Amino acid sequence: MNIGVLTGGGDCPGLNAVIRAIVYKGIKQYRYNIMGIYEGWKGLLEGGPIAPLTLEDVSGILAMGGTILKTSRTNPFKHKKGIELIKKTVKKYKLDVVIAIGGEDTLGVAARLHKEGLKVIGVPKTIDNDVAGTDQTFGFDTAVNVATEAIDRLRSTAEAHNRVFLVEVMGRHAGWIAVQSGIAGGAHLILVPEYPIDVDEVVSRIVKRHARGEQYSMIVVAEGAQLKKDSGEPGFILQEPEKDAFGHVRLGGIAYILAKIIESKTGYECRNAILGHIQRGGKPTAFDRVLSTRYGIHAIDLVHKKKFGQMVALRGTKIVGTPLVTAMKKTKTIDKEIYGIAEVFSG
């Protein structure tokens, strides 16, 4: 059997660990041919490059960031003959199954292709942790650790200067990284896309805090957090208004805008740091290496059991298979319980 593997969308730590697990179990136990499809859906759309992956190819990649298969944000459904071209490539390389490792965009394409008759299996990744149907995506734990380390470091300089420091983390539609790194880093305020920012409320909490004698504040804000509609500011703060193939704009800068507003309303000196892609690069944590490995092993097991149209998922402590379409139903936003915990330490 020939199994194609691709990584699509934004990269994240752990992609190589998934590929390695698929190749190891696929070759050693099932005697499959594993084929690497390069640059995500682009590779299938453009007819390659596609090449065999050997045990040697994946040796030593467990702890490597990025993806040896490269990635792209290509959406085949944006092309008139997208499905036709993909089917042509699948036929040319005699691919029996495609394992797509990606976030909601990549997995959304996989679900649609499955409807079109292609045999696919999904593996959920994204540092944003916003894919429904799984308790956690790989890459998220690493991003939270990087952000927490940054908050710890920024805290000492904020404290030394008696400043209000705004740390901007990734998270387009969901504030998972903000809330988890904010709790882990002891932030005094956490702002997420799920709850529009009331600037007066933010200012009042900071002023109250400083009136109590505190001399500095740490605020963690997700890039996708928006100011309340009546604030006069635009919704999303953009770095780049142009949309990608999946309709996403490039976010960034809410921390800068908020720092300006808070400084002008309170007189406290403010600074901001946008962590950006630092959260996505580099080595996966031990947790992400293990989760990615378990996902890869389960994905190839699903192939063996012919459970096509499924995605691997973490449920509690177990890895299960779940229909790909469940991942597409909605964005997994933060739950009230975790935000409630953050609120206890707010202000």
Contacting range for ligand F6P; rule: CB under 6 A; set: 121-129, 191-199, 209-217, 307-315: 121-129
Smallest gap, in angstroms, from Cβ of residue 324 to ligand F6P?
18
Per CB under 6 A, 171 contacts ligand F6P = yes
Strands (E), the chain: 2-7, 33-37, 50-52, 97-102, 120-124, 164-169, 189-191, 217-222, 238-240, 250-251, 270-274, 310-315, 318-323
Among 172, 209, 289, 332, binds ligand F6P (CB under 6 A): 172
Contacts for 280 with CB less than 8 Å, ≥ 6 apart: 10, 11, 12, 13, 65, 127, 139, 143, 170
Per CB under 6 A, 301 contacts ligand F6P = no
Structure tokens at 244: 């990608």
Look up 128 and say whether it is catalytic: yes
Q: For ligand F6P, give the closer residue by CB, 21 or 147.
A: 147
Judged by CB under 6 A, how many residues of this single chain contact ligand F6P? 13
Per CB under 6 A, 87 contacts ligand F6P = no
d(CA 130, CA 178) in angstroms, rounded, equals 12
Among the listed residues 15, 12, 232, the one whose alpha carbon sits nearest the alpha carbon of residue 126: 12
Tell me how crowded residue 48 is: count the other CB atoms within 10 A of its CB: 15
Smallest gap, in angstroms, from Cβ of residue 143 to ligand F6P?
8
Q: What angle do CA 56, 141, 151 make, to 5 degrees?
A: 125
Smallest gap, in angstroms, from Cβ of residue 210 to ligand F6P?
31
Tell me how crowded residue 15 is: count the other CB atoms within 10 A of its CB: 28
Among 21, 98, 113, 127, binds ligand F6P (CB under 6 A): 127
Three-state secondary structure call for residue 184: helix
Q: Which residue has the tokens 């031990």?
A: 286
Per CB under 6 A, 42 contacts ligand F6P = no
Per CB under 6 A, 107 contacts ligand F6P = no
Residues 193-232, mask of contacts with ligand F6P (x by CB under 6 A): ------------------------------x---------
Q: For ligand F6P, give the closer residue by CB, 158 or 257.
A: 257
d(CA 224, CA 207) in angstroms, rounded, equals 25
Smallest gap, in angstroms, from Cβ of residue 146 to ligand F6P?
12
Per CB under 6 A, 10 contacts ligand F6P = yes
Q: What angle do CA 297, 302, 306 make, to 5 degrees?
A: 150
Among 20, 280, 294, 298, binds ligand F6P (CB under 6 A): 280
Q: For ligand F6P, give the closer residue by CB, 11 or 301.
A: 11
Q: For ligand F6P, give the closer residue by CB, 89 or 106.
A: 106
d(CA 96, CA 181) in angstroms, rounded, equals 41
| Cross-strand partners of 312 | 321
- The catalytic residue among 11, 105, 128, 141 is 128
Per CB under 6 A, 126 contacts ligand F6P = yes
Q: For ligand F6P, give the closer residue by CB, 128 or 301.
A: 128
Among the listed residues 94, 74, 126, 63, the one whose alpha carbon sits nearest the alpha carbon of residue 284: 63
> Known catalytic residues?
128
Interface residues with ligand F6P (CB under 6 A)? 9-10, 103, 126-128, 170-172, 223, 250-251, 280
